[in-house]
Structure 1
């Protein structure tokens, strides 16, 4: 008896699973591969939400520095008569945006109940990026010295795996273009090569976006958290340990965790906030990267060629079963009286 294509594929998968079950059951569970660590001179950003005033100077500077067009949702285009950039989130046209949290009467900044808060949204430049792990053509790259995650449009094939793989939903595809590209914050890598600061950090008037070495930014964040709420502190502006005068302001009441320190294996952008992170759209994530898990599974499956051999074995079993069925059918035909 013959089989059709669907039956063949279904049988092949079933046979492969059966053949693979025994060796995998005896093997150790899937292990995460070793986590990646910060590069020696990793640079990043400390974003202090309590110091952000929502002026969006960083958004405008980012647009100018990266040659990105103005973005206006249709529902707001008539209201601002095409004069203001009113992007509501990052997209193929917007690499960096300020969003606002609002609750109740909104009487006090950085309060969860009856308050409001600002949050900056852009690439967090993961220590162990999922976008790099899933990219089949190495269009996503991580600088071995600074750790900045960049995108090479000339190598990109537009598969958008990075869009689906990023736990922060950062890479965006330009669907409105006939030959769309992936767009993401590259931490103004082109400006840094000229000895300049990332545009968003350069123009921030309060120091809410602060540039520096990740290790130094982590210490700065811990220093702020150790202060009492309301205590005056000189917040650096532009670059940590730079030559700009800081802004003296009272310290806010921070959440007890520095976001980005452990999330998804750690990021090079760290957040200090007064409102719980999830309220600001910062996802709750495990302390390991998804790339470490998926690559660990792949290495386990292909170790000793378990998965390919199991599939081959399943196909062989199915083929032999089909041949045997044909032989039995011919035998029955010969024995049937004419």
Structure 2
């Protein structure tokens, strides 16, 4: 009995070491934002809050109405992202000023959600889009915790739940179409295209009407760069966007992890210790049974 238990302990340690040594999906780091990456430019000075983008997005992605019942009355006017709402227009206020901001996946160049996804369910597409593969998703929801923009949502009400988020209408590209939200916007507040072209347009607008804009393009370098760029009349924290440095969000966490797991010494030691404790406890239990 003791020999079998000892072999079990050794197998446990070996399996743990192999698991630690196996390449993780979190190692699939992002890359710097490229000129040909696809993305969006949202101009908050042009948005009138019509929410045509929200409706068109839902139609293009086959999502159901996001109905809430208030005082017995059903409203299809979501205030935030949800399993059925991949993009939404939110209202902001600052003193006597007010306006709107579009919330959706920002398609980061180096996404935190991709960094923490164990099996690569969330991954970078060739043109910079952060895609989702439900067949690889185990429902851990680490992406929800990691995302600095609080974007991914989980289908709690579904028997076969999945993570939902904007994928920049990538299913429409084969038809020669872009993001549905940009197609529906009547004020050119949302524009779809190559990141280089969107940056050029954003700079043109800032230069043409400097008095109308807070002089910064959010997402140009924030958090390592994002595919969704934002222009605003007020500081971006007023819109609810996080103040990020130029370094990608996953960089610090991965540096710590890679330092701990360098050479896999820590995982091997950890699993070895756990295996020893398991073996010792089983031995003690066997002795007590014999008494």
Q: For residues 1-338 of structure 1, what are the structure 2 equivalents within 5 Å?
A: 36-39=31-34, 41-75=36-70, 78=73, 82=74, 84-102=75-93, 112-144=94-126, 146-229=127-210, 253-308=212-267, 310-311=269-270
> C-alpha separation between the residues in 2 aligned to 1:156 and 1:313?
30
Question: 1:126·1:264 contact (CA, 8 Å) conserved in 2?
Answer: yes
Counterparts of 2:178 and 2:29, CA distance in 1: 32
Q: Deviations over 1:175-214 (max 9, x none)?
A: 1222221110000001122111210000111100001110
Change (3 A) 1:76 1:192: farther
Secondary structure of the corresponding residue to residue 70 of structure 2: helix
Residues 239-284 of structure 1 deviation map (CA, whole Å, 9 limit, x = unaligned): xxxxxxxxxxxxx611122111122211010000012211111111
Q: How has the CA–CA distance of structure 1 residues 274 and 147 changed in structure 2, closer, same or farther, with 3 Å as cutoff?
A: same
Relative to 1, partners in 2 of residues 1:310 and 1:114: Cα closer, same or farther, differing over 3 Å? same
**Which whole-Å CA distance do the structure 1 matches of 2:87 and 2:277 have between them?**
54
CA gap of 1:134–1:312, structure 2 versus 1, over 3 A, is closer
Q: CA RMSD, aligned part only?
A: 2.5
In 2 relative to 1, CA 76–138 (structure 1 residues): closer, same or farther, beyond 3 Å?
farther
DSSP-derived class of the 1:74 partner: strand
Q: Where do 5+ consecutive residues of structure 2 fail to align?
A: 1-27, 281-291
Q: 1:94 to 1:316 in 2, by over 3 A?
A: closer
Instruction: Measure the CA separation in 1 of the matches of 2:262 and 2:32.
Output: 24
- In 1, distance between residues paired with 2:248 and 2:71? 38
> Is residue 34–residue 292 contact of structure 1 (8 Å, CA) maintained in 2?
no
Q: Which runs of 5+ in 1 are unaligned?
A: 1-32, 103-111, 230-251, 323-338
> What is the TM-score with the length of structure 2 in the denominator?
0.80
Q: Separation in 2 of the partners of 1:271 and 1:143?
A: 22
Give distance in 2, aligned partners of 1:99 and 1:302.
42
SS in 2 for 1:100: strand
The size of the alignment, in residue pairs, is 253
CA contact (8 A) 2:35 2:196 kept: no
User: How far is 1:158 from its partner?
Assistant: 1.1
